[in-house]
Each structure stands twice: as C-alpha cells, then as structure tokens.
Structure 1
Amino acid sequence: MIFTDNVEKWSTSICFAVLTMIPQVHVSAYTQCEYSLVKVNYVRDCPTDAVSWNKAAERMDCQSIKQNCSGLNPQQHVFQYHCVVNGWMNATLEVCAFNRSILGYCTEFNTRGAMIQDHYATDCTDHEPPCPTSYNSAEAYKYPTCYHMARQNRLISQENPVSSTARLVENTVMMFASIIFGVLI
C-alpha cells in the first residue's frame, strides 16, 4: 500500500512539473476569434475612401455575426469590417474581425490565427501617404499603398509561379522553424 501511495504522489509531481515547463500562451480574446473565418472574401480591390468603406461594411454586416470571443465586455469588442492584405502580401481580403492598433505597418489578416495583425515585413510609415506609427486597423483604407503592394506582388507571382511557390515554401519552413524554436525556449 505504501508503494502505491508513493507512486501516485510521484506521478502527480511529474505531471505538475511537466505542465509547468510547457510555455503558457495567452492570446487576447479581443483579437483572435475563429468566427472571423465565417466571412472572408478575397477581393480584387479594397475601398480607399470612407464612403466606399462604409458601403462595403454595410454589405458585410459584421455586427450580425454571432460570436463569443468578446469576453466579459461584448459592448466594447464587436466585429468590424476590414479590407486588408493577406500574410503573403499578394492578395486583399474583406473580413469581419476585432479592430487592433497597428503600429506603423500594413494591416493584415492572419487566416491561421483568425486575427487582424501588423504585417511586419511592410513598414508603411515611409509610403505616400504614410501611415502613422499607430492607427486603427478598421481605418486601413486611409493607407492604400499597402493594397497596391499586394496587387503588384500578385501580378509578379502570376507571371512567375515557380518563384512564388518557392517563396511560399520558404515562408512555411520559416514559420515552422519559428514555432519549433519558440516551443523549445
């Protein structure tokens, strides 16, 4: 009986030790939400003025999407219309998601993470017109050079599909390497 008690205590200690070694990842419920994937439309062009942006927002009707990602304060965190670039910077898409503060980069929608985020490869503070060092993601239309860059990248990848496939493979390998490295730390 003593042996069984010791094994049980030992296994409980090991489980606790293993669980404390696993990195805890907390993603704010106010940014990531799988319900954003309900309405994702790839579009040729995004609106570049407030009037057309508001018309597109009415058409998408983001407030009608039932979601439970708002946490304890759903009045402050509602889905909003966004038209942004994708993670590969070669397409534009419309999506209903929580808005974020973007810190001087183009705004992207990460389809894997189901969230709006900064596209860190594209600093837009030196574009014309420049984006500010901090802006609301739901106002991305004010910085259309991000859309133009995505369109140019799309045209380049259509002209040279081999290099775009190689870039995609390279980006995927880098992403997995980053994840593995992050888990090991």
Structure 2
Amino acid sequence: MTVLYYCWSVLFLWRFCLTLDGSRKLQIKEVDICPTDQISWEKASRDVNCTNPDRYQCTPNENLTALLEYCYHQPPTFVEKGFCWIISDSYFTNTYSCSGFKEGCPHMTYRSNELYKYQECLQLNKLKGCYLADPKCPSLG
C-alpha cells in the first residue's frame, strides 16, 4: 500500500508541476470576470483560440489578485473537494484550500475545466488578495 501511495504521489506531483518547455509559450490574459456557466466557458475557449476546448482555464493567480484566462497545455485534471484551482506566477497549476469559506467550497471532486460551477473560487477581493467567501476577507465596496 505504501508503494502504491508513493507512486500516486509522484504521479500527482509530476502532473501538477509540469511547466511548458521553452519552445511553447503560455498566453495568459487578465480578465475582470471568468465565465459563469458552461456555454460562456465554451465561448471563451473559442474566443482565445484554444485548440482543444477542454484546455481552456480561467483561474485566480496564486496571490488572489487577478483572474487569468489561458489555454493550458495539459488535459483537465481532477481537483479534490475542498479546494479551488489556481495558477502560480511560474505557471504551475495548484490548489487552494477553501475549507474555511462561508459557503461555496466544492463539496465533491471536479474537473479543472469545470471551475465555473464553483463561483466562490472565482470571486476575489483583488486589492486584499483573498476570496470573498473567506470570512477573513473584507467585502468589496
């Protein structure tokens, strides 16, 4: 069982820690809001010319100060319940625990390209660098 867990951990880390090789550029654009449903998610994918609609992503950056849209080089992956999907400044994908949210934290595992289903993972106070669903985060306005 330990060997299986170790192998899964290595595969998990490898999958989430891959970055683009030097020959490819990840085109990232800051947006005011991310799509709020599947239809607008698919439209945004077409608008940014993702070669595969499943590769479109719109996520907060790691500092929670911006929403970024991009066509990711890896297929969608599963994000465990209790976590929001983010991208780091060095283009690593990662997760952020939302267990302290007032509401809206994903209650089941989901695919990374279905983040639109969990709008609380996309609602930020960009000036303070926090999720609005976090009780410690000041509200906007």
**TM-score interval, smaller chain:** 0.5 to 0.7
TM-score (norm 1): 0.52
Structure 1: which amino acid aligns with 2:107? P
Q: What percent identity do the matched residue pairs reach?
A: 25
Partner SS state of residue 41, structure 2 = helix
Q: Which structure carries more helix by proportion?
A: 1
Partner SS state of residue 63, structure 1 = coil
Distance 1:107 1:127, change over 3 A: farther
- The CA deviation at 1:129 is 3.5
| d(CA) in 2 for partners of 1:29, 1:130 | 23
Distance 1:156 1:118, change over 3 A: closer
Superposition pairs for residues 25-40 of structure 1, below 5 Å?
28=14, 32-34=18-20, 37-40=25-28
Whether the 8 Å CA contact 2:16–2:93 is kept in 1: the answer is no
| d(CA) in 2 for partners of 1:83, 1:133 | 19
CA RMSD of aligned residues (A): 2.9
Deviations 1:48-92 (A, max 9, x none): 11111110011122227xxxxxxxxxxxxx970000111011211
What is the aligned counterpart of 1:105 among 52, 75, 83? Answer: 83
The equivalent of 1:94 in structure 2 is 69
TM-score (norm 2): 0.66
The equivalent of 1:59 in structure 2 is 47
Unaligned runs of 5+ in 1: 1-24, 65-77, 158-185
Whether the 8 Å CA contact 1:102–1:134 is kept in 2: the answer is yes
Distance 1:87 1:102, change over 3 A: same
Deviations 1:74-128 (A, max 9, x none): xxxx97000011101121100111222111211101231x232212xx3158554
Partner SS state of residue 107, structure 1 = strand
Unaligned runs of 5+ in 2: 1-9, 130-141
- The CA deviation at 1:142 is 0.6
The equivalent of 1:176 in structure 2 is none
1:142 aligns with 2:117: yes
Count of paired positions: 114
What is the aligned counterpart of 2:104 among 112, 129, 133? Answer: 129
Q: Name segments (4+ residues, structure 1) moved above 4 Å.
A: 124-127
